[in-house]
Amino acid sequence: MKLGWIIARPLAPRETDFEPWFLFASATFGIGCLAWLSLGLPWPVCWFRHSFGVPCPTCGATRSALALVHGNIGLAFRTNPLMCLVYLGVIIFDLYAVAVLLFRTKRLRLDRIPLQVQRILRVILLALVISNWIYLLCYLR
């Protein structure tokens, strides 16, 4: 099955199975964060904000993650919209990875993306980061 540049297909022989690795990385990061907070260790300080007095493009990412963990998507989005979307994307991909591994279904893979489309996607990504930073500069001062 092919949908645009996304293909659903079985793993090829000797092809890297990314889904378990992504789940492992995601779970390790989540458990590490939980351990950090459970031990009462100090909150990470943004060196950029500390040095320059303005938020960096990812300022509020920790607070956004905590709001998501508590089920407050609105607060998570207001705290850092881009990181909230990234976290939600990771959750969706984790659910996909679990389903693929449990049911042994075909894997979603990106097919060849034309160079022009790659350039457009890079510009969109850069625009998202800059827009998010402008939002943070305006509302997190």
Model confidence at 26: pLDDT above 90: yes
**CA–CA distances in Å: residue 26 to residues 5, 13, 34, 55, 123:** 25, 25, 12, 26, 27
Q: What is the mean pLDDT of residues 25-49?
A: 92
- Encode pLDDT of 68-112 as tens digits: 999 999 999 999 999 999 999 999 999 999 999 999 999 999 888
Q: Report pLDDT for 140.
A: 76
Give the Cβ contact number of residue 20 at 10 Å: 12
Q: Report pLDDT for 82.
A: 98
Two tokens at 49? Answer: 């904000």
Model confidence at 4: pLDDT above 90: no
Nearest to 95 by CA among 103, 59, 42: 103
When the pLDDT of each residue in the chain is averaged and rounded to a whole number, the result is 93
